[in-house]
Structure 1
């Protein structure tokens, strides 16, 4: 009877796992990474992103994005220069939102941000410090 019960349990477990869709255990492709970035950049939620990436769970999509894509972005000199130009272009708009909350001029808020630095800002906000894994801060000569 115990053997029959054990076999019945094993059959139920096997049929349950067969009924649920298997998640991919394969490496992420560059196309999947690009789609993950594109969809997240458009404001899509992880659950919805996973529906567009067959075999990938919402958690898998989020972890891939946060632990790999964000931290391993390629930063050649052209992209660094573009970042600097984009920051200069959008900083007033970005900092005005922060300054409005603080009831102060945006340049004062921006200056304090730079003065505190990334480590102290993260500590004060009680968030982990974000670091790129292959950060190169060399300035072209």
Structure 2
């Protein structure tokens, strides 16, 4: 069964192929849910929090449950919403520097998975290439 969000953006910022089968790619991205990482950008220490949600009923997103990740539960395509909150760790506390939302469409291509990334809004912060690097593990 497909899990598609009917308001997925018509303009995609970046498309690429992940060299894993569909269900493995979905599980891999689902593991990013509620993760935190810390990295240095310039002279600042930045904490990045990631939240991943799945299309529920074509109009909303919800939590990814284990039953959705079993083989055959989702086929052909799935839409995900990934929220990335970046906080600069400065002397007195945490200062938000980016709060970005990305929409991902995973499409089954048998031995690989095609991924389309679209960013919500046009503001400062992360872009689709940054999201790709997070997905590929370079953002850790």
Kindly indicate which of the two structures has a greater share of residues assigned to helix. 1
Structure label with greater radius of gyration: 1
Kindly indicate which of the two structures has a greater share of residues assigned to strand. 2
* TM-score normalized with structure 1 length: 0.24
* TM-score normalized with structure 2 length: 0.24
If asked which structure has higher relative contact order (CA below 8 Å, sep 6+), I would say: 2
